[in-house]
Amino acid sequence: LLDPAVALHRVARPPGSRNPVHLYRLWRTVRACRPDVIHAHAASLGPLLAGTGARTLLTVHDTGLPTRGVRAFDAVVAVSAAVQRDLAGRRPAVAARVVANGIDFAAIATRPQQPPPGVLRAVQVSRLVAAKKGQDILLEALQRVLAARGAGTVSVDFIGDGPDRDALEARAR
Q: Is the dihedral of CA 124, 130, 133, 138 positive or negative?
A: positive
Residue 44, classified by CB atoms within 10 Å of its CB into exposed (0-12), middle (13-18) or buried (19+), is middle
Looking at residue 2, what is its pLDDT? 74
Q: Comparing C-alpha atoms, which of 4, 20, 11 is closest to residue 40? A: 11
Judge whether 155 and 119 are in contact, CB under 8 Å. Answer: yes
At residue 115, the pLDDT reads 58
> pLDDT under 50 in the chain at which residues?
none
pLDDT at 71: 95
**Phi/psi-derived region of residue 123, left when phi > 0, alpha when psi is between -120 and 50, beta in every other case:** beta
Q: Note the pLDDT of residue 150.
A: 84
